[in-house]
Amino acid sequence: QVQLQESGPGLVKPSETLSLTCTVSGGSISRYYWSWIRQPPGKGLEWIGYIFYSGSTNYNPSLKSRVTISLDTSKNQFSLKLTSVTAADTAVYYCAREASCGDDCYSFDYWGQGMLITVSS
């Protein structure tokens, strides 16, 4: 059974960099897309971006200038960095696997438990 687990500081100061790591267990990081998704308290879901096992990335244009997603295949981990954070970046951050459902179809089939990141001084 594939499991994902987010880790990192739960409190980040305004203007600083949010850094999270997702550790994948029970399966290989190969052949899938690995995404970060966030959900502000009481609000909906926002896709941040993904990294493919080859290392190629794609980001939400609304966050692209501040986001970097990287991969460490030796540790079966991928990471998120979000720079210059503000209170608007306070949210539960999820890591998720995006798998092919055939013929250019993809869905998020495994999710981490989520981690609340608060931006506050």
Residues that bind other proteins (CB under 8 A): 35, 44-47, 58-62, 94, 98, 101-102, 104-109, 111-114
Q: In the complex with other proteins, which residue's Cβ is closer, 85 or 93? A: 93
The distance of closest approach from Cβ of residue 85 to other proteins in the complex, given in angstroms and rounded to an integer, is 19
Asked whether the beta carbons of 22 and 33 are under 8 A apart, the reply is no
d(CA 3, CA 11): 24
Q: How far is CA 77 from the centre of its chain?
A: 11
The distance of closest approach from Cβ of residue 88 to other proteins in the complex, given in angstroms and rounded to an integer, is 17
Amino acid, res. 119: V
Q: In the complex with other proteins, which residue's Cβ is closer, 112 or 119? A: 112
Q: In the complex with other proteins, which residue's Cβ is closer, 16 or 46? A: 46
d(CA 31, CA 27): 11
Q: In the complex with other proteins, which residue's Cβ is closer, 7 or 60? A: 60
The distance of closest approach from Cβ of residue 121 to other proteins in the complex, given in angstroms and rounded to an integer, is 26
d(CA 41, CA 53): 30
